[in-house]
Amino acid sequence: MHYPKFSLLGGTNIRKWPYILGIFTFVAFCFLWITFETAIIKAFDKGAFELLYGNKFITMFHHIGETNFIFTVAIILCIFIWIYKKDYKLIGFVIVSVGGGYGLYQLLKRQIERPRPDIADQFSTFSFPSGHAVHGLLYLFTIAYVLNRLYTLNKASLIVWIAAIILALLIGISRITEARHFASDVIAGWSLGYSWFILCVWFYRRTIEYKRFEKNSGT
């Protein structure tokens, strides 16, 4: 099956910087994990809270970061790929990226057990990392990747990625405006989400290359 070139993560010409960034974001996540109880991070969280709390416009974006909404979109995306392309590897990529990312951050929340901000009617689940930040980035970046993978978007490709980045940022920030998470939870969520996404991309590309190698070896 032939695919046209796609932009940010490379077509036939592999771009290395997204993978290097994935390593950096994983390091950032680990750094926040071991430092979120320090005075510097607490001061940062307090400053971000005072700056952003109560912003009703940004708060609205938490709806598109809800788990049920994300899984619904992911299912629709898989059905679309199956109907129009019959690309089961790409469907597997969506499942591992979105579904695996959900399982990953849920596991980490239970391992780290950071309490949420102290406000009335707060959720009883743990705070670090922010699930909205992780999952929101993952499904939006996965959609952008799949669209770039399936279609020649040319200049529209950049618009798709910019839209995905902006929406992922707004979903994450909405958790600070509602005081549902600390800012460090959100940044850690973005970092973990991107690292998991780029790992899934790397693995998906390796499966394609292995299939091509087998095909060429058999001829």
- Give pLDDT tens digits for 98-143: 999 999 999 999 999 999 998 767 777 889 999 999 999 999 999 9
Classify burial at 193, counting beta carbons within 10 Å of its beta carbon; exposed 0-12, middle 13-18, buried 19 or more: buried
CA 8 to chain centre: 15
Q: What span, in angstroms and rounded, lies between the C-alpha atoms of 160 and 140?
A: 10
Q: What span, in angstroms and rounded, lies between the C-alpha atoms of 203 and 47?
A: 39
Q: What is the DSSP string of 118-175?
A: --TT--SS--SS-HHHHHHHHHHHHHHHHHHHHS--THHHHHHHHHHHHHHHHHHHHH
Share of the chain above pLDDT 90, in %: 70
CA 63 to chain centre: 16
The residue type at 117 = P
Taking residues 151-174, what's their average pLDDT? 88
Res 59 pLDDT > 90? yes
Q: What span, in angstroms and rounded, lies between the C-alpha atoms of 115 and 85?
A: 44
Give, in order, the Cα–Cα distances in Å from 169 to each of 84, 128, 150, 175, 177.
31, 17, 25, 10, 12
User: What is the separation, in whole angstroms, between the first and last Cα of the chain?
Assistant: 17
Q: What span, in angstroms and rounded, lies between the C-alpha atoms of 142 and 73?
A: 11
Res 153 pLDDT > 90? no
Taking residues 150-159, what's their average pLDDT? 76
- pTM given for the model: 0.87
What are the tokens at 187?
Answer: 């940044």
- Active site residue ranges: 132, 181
